[in-house]
Amino acid sequence: MTKLTLLDLPPEIITAIFQQLPFGSVRDLERVPQLRPYALKELYKVVKVHLTEKRVPAEISVLFRVGHEHDVHRRPISVNFNQLVALIRDKRASFIRHISFEDPRALLNIHDMYPSVLSNVLTMVSFELFLMYTRGHDFVWFFQEFKKLSYDITEADSFRYFNPAVYGDNSGWFNKFESLTINELSSDAINTITQAEFTSLTTLRCNAPVDVRFVKYFPRTVTLLKCVVCRSETVLSSRLAFPKKLRSLEIRYVVVSGLDNDFPAELNHLRNLELLKCDSASFYKLPKSLLTINTFLPLNIEQVMAQCPALEVMNCREFDVPDELCELPHGLRKLQMNSRGLDYLVKLELGVTLLSGDRPLSKRQKTESRTKVVKFPKGLQSLVIAGNLHVYKTLDYEIFSNCPGTVLDCLTDLKIQWYWNCQKLGLWPKFLKRLSVLDCKGVDFGGLQELTSLMYLTIEGTQVGTFNVKLPPSLVQLEMRDNLMPKFTADSTDATSLYYLVLKGNKFTELNDAVVHIPPSARELDLSHNEISSISPSFRFPPGLLQLSLLHNELSVLPELPAGLEKFSAAVNRLGRKGQVFNFPSSLEELDLHSNVIQGGYPFSRLSLLSCPRLRKLDLGNGNWNNDSDEDEVDLSQQVKIELCHFPKSLTSLSIRGCNAAKINGSLLRFPHLEEIDMRENEGVAGLFPIRDGHGSYFGDAIKLVWITKRYFEPDKFDKFVGMMKKMPNFECLVVAEQEVVDSGNITHKWLRSIRAPSVGWSDKEYWSKSAVVQ
């Protein structure tokens, strides 16, 4: 029988599968030729084009994030102008369905270069940065040119003014917008909006205060509105005449003489309003249709119960506790509240708790088991309970119970934080999928193995000591952060799906099977910010491990690493002191060893990196010194040399910052795919660039970002170096470090000067930014 593969499915089914995959998985599948079109369709569906000027990092960073959660929530791909051009050239832009521009001039430039490429893409344009430097006739002239573009522009963001001169002849262009954000509302702007005929506008955001008498002129088509409404004492009407089709409203309501709860603003005529985000619900008469309410001032629960019987989502920091107890809305699905709201829900109930062996309590035990418990709506699916960050409180009652009237069989997401003593939490709701316990003391985690649906568990700042509970088989991700644990001995025998394990910020001093139990199913493991100084020779990492972080420990020797490891960090340790010859797996793609003490005349030759033909990112910054090192252990007198031939040709990112290399031998043309390199604080860097007339480029065409120290160059040669960099086809920025000694002392201020690429349509700019620092 022929085995069915993914490619045997219909295209629409494959697309639906890709929509549900984590971001990292889609990235991996991009490398498979047959699946690449499906991956590109998902990755580049939404693209944001930012300005290069805002996105120059201070240094190269090899980031390691362990966990499934950061992959689930998709964010738009963010590119600068040059990267967008690259997307167009290699045909990836054909997969874009929605694109946004931080500056409309970028869209003009793209149109000049590639007139029809984005013609069928939904487009959003922000005018905030453009209008900072453009006023009056220049702005009107720009619109005359911009509106001629044949693009489907459905959204405009951040107008600083909106008046007849702007709207005027451009009315047809504005009227087709579906979304509009206006930053300033002068009287002219108000008059313009009253006369405008927005036939497609559904989203309107006004970031400037609006007089209450003006709200009736908002376009009738708007369904999502964000605004600040002001009412003076002379205005007697409290009715807010918003568009009747409004479904979502984010509002601040300001009365000039202060808020008067005796005359609340009327929203109860808005029969389609489903979501309200406001300062306080007490300032309004609410509509019965409301499903979601989000407030940051105390919420009057009696008012909400009376006015909004269909409420499903309630997010409030605090309750106004009523004189008489009442229950929360029965249809509530999501609830976020603080300890005072929890106190309000406490009931005196009969707690029927099963004994071991599932034997029920006796009559006498039932009589004695009357206790305080919390009664939530039965259909509650998500619950967040936050105590007081500054004054931790003790819970002296059960939040959860298995009594028939209080059991929460629908609850899947639970987060509890900022409680001092949680010994009486009660039984965990048995169908939880996600559980987070943050900064709580005294929590009993003994019943976790009974949560057969639990997939994500986070325990942070609880000081649990050892953690030797039995983990459920459904668990996919476990985070144990900053718990000061000396051991992690959880029983993971049944947790065969536990792929992501974070044990960051604890008190492990060594790794052996008696101290830390790593489940064999783990694919990503974070042991950073512990105190690990030794690893037992018998200790083995899981064979299928793909990512491992030992950042910020006290290791002087590395252990044997799994054969298939792809990402590894052992930065900020004490590696290199004992002359170890390193053996990294050939599968390695990213390696971070910055801030270690790798000694010797050719210190990096011992890394044996040529055995890693897939290595893309390599950080060896500060690789010959360490701020915390003992002087008698480190020999800095030996002249350091770096041989570029010791690094694999596959590199796209390299940092040798602060290695104090007197010589750097070889050529950077060895690395045809190199996109970024940090060479600061290496005297030998000037030798890489002899800068002779007639000499070709010193980098491959892929280079984009370079960090370098200027003082090692002769002035005229440095100017020529800058000129050479600007001619590189993909060049974006050269970050130049310059120094100035203050008061003839030993305090040195480092300054970074960013020299930009002359992007199409923008003038070349140079500016300074202080990167602090005392040496």
Rounded to whole angstroms, the Cα distance separating 740 from 748 reads: 6
594 band by pLDDT with thresholds 50, 70 and 90: very high
**What's the pLDDT score for residue 203?**
94
pLDDT (tens digit per residue) in 119-162: 899 999 988 777 655 555 566 677 777 778 888 888 888 776 67
Weakest-pLDDT range from 52-56, 245-249, 306-310? 52-56
Rounded to an integer, what distance in angstroms lies between the CA atom of residue 249 and that of residue 277?
Answer: 6
Mean pLDDT of the chain: 82
Model pTM score: 0.84
773: number of Cβ within 10 Å? 10
Least reliable range by pLDDT among 70-74, 203-207, 333-337, 490-494: 70-74
pLDDT at residue 747, rounded to an integer? 33
Of the two residues 455 and 739, the one the predictor is more confident about is: 455
pLDDT for res 13: 93
Stated as kind and residue range, the H or E segment containing 141 is helix 136-146
* The residue to which tokens 């001039």 are assigned: 105
pLDDT of residue 135: 57
Give the pLDDT mean for 545-559: 94
Determine how many CB atoms are found less than 10 A away from the CB of residue 50: 19
Q: What is the pLDDT, as a whole number, of residue 761?
A: 35
Instruction: Report the alpha-carbon distance of residue 192 to residue 165 in Å, rounded.
Output: 9
| Model confidence at 589: pLDDT above 90 | yes
Task: Report which of residues 198 and 48 the model is more confident about.
Answer: 48
Percent of the chain with pLDDT over 70: 81
Contact, 587 vs 607, CB < 8 A?
Answer: no
Question: What local confidence, expressed as pLDDT, does residue 749 receive?
Answer: 39
Tell me how far apart the alpha carbons of residues 47 and 686 are, in angstroms, rounded to a whole number: 39
pLDDT for 148-157, tens place per residue?
888 888 888 8
Domains of the chain in sequence order = 333-444 (no CATH), 449-554 (3.80.10.10), 689-775 (no CATH)
pLDDT score, position 262:
62
Output DSSP code: residue 32: S
SS (H, E, C) 77-119: EEECHHHHHHHHHCCHHHHCCEEEECCHHHHHHHHHHCCCCCC
For position 134, what pLDDT does the model report? 57
Which helix (DSSP H) or strand (DSSP E) does residue 69 occupy?
helix 69-72
Task: State residue 696's pLDDT score.
Answer: 76
Q: What is the pLDDT of residue 647?
A: 97
Listed in sequence order, the residues at least 6 apart from 45 whose beta carbon sits closer than 8 Å to its beta carbon are 95, 96, 97, 98
Whether 765 shows a pLDDT value over 50: the answer reads no
Give me the pLDDT at residue 8, please.
87
Summarize pLDDT for 682-691 with one digit per residue, the tens: 999 999 998 8
Rounded mean pLDDT, 343-372: 50
The reported pLDDT for the residue numbered 269 is: 94
For residue 642, the cross-strand partners are 664
Q: Cα 10–15–19 angle (5° rounding)? A: 150
pLDDT for 756:
55
| pLDDT of residue 213 exceeding 60 | yes
How far apart CA 251 and CA 277 sit, in angstroms, is 6
Query: Using H for helix, E for strand and C for coil, what is the string for 533-599?
Result: CEECCCCCCCCCCCEEECCCCCCCCCCCCCCCCCEEECCCCCCCCCCCCCCCCCCCCEEECCCCECC
Confidence of residue 322 (pLDDT cuts 50, 70, 90): low
Question: What pLDDT shows up at residue 355?
Answer: 35
Find tokens 């990492």 and name the residue: 541
**Pairing mode, strands 275-278 and 248-255:** parallel
Report pLDDT for 738: 67
The residue type at 505 = G
Residue 528, pLDDT above cutoff 90: yes
Single-letter residue type at 529: H
For residue 44 the two structure tokens come to: 């580049």
**Cα-Cα-Cα-Cα dihedral sign, residues 133, 136, 139, 142:** negative
Amino acid 233: pLDDT: 67
Which whole-number Å values give the CA distances from 422 to 27, 416, 431, 483, 512, in the listed order? 42, 10, 20, 16, 32
Looking at the DSSP bridge assignments, the partners of residue 362 are none
Q: Summarize pLDDT for 442-491 with one digit per residue, the tens.
A: 888 888 999 999 999 999 998 787 788 999 999 999 999 999 999 999 99
What is the CA 627 to chain-centroid distance, rounded?
Answer: 30
Q: How confident is the model at residue 363 (pLDDT cuts 50, 70, 90)?
A: very low
Residue of 320 and 591 predicted with greater confidence: 591
Give 634-654 pLDDT, tens digit per residue. 455 567 899 999 999 999 999
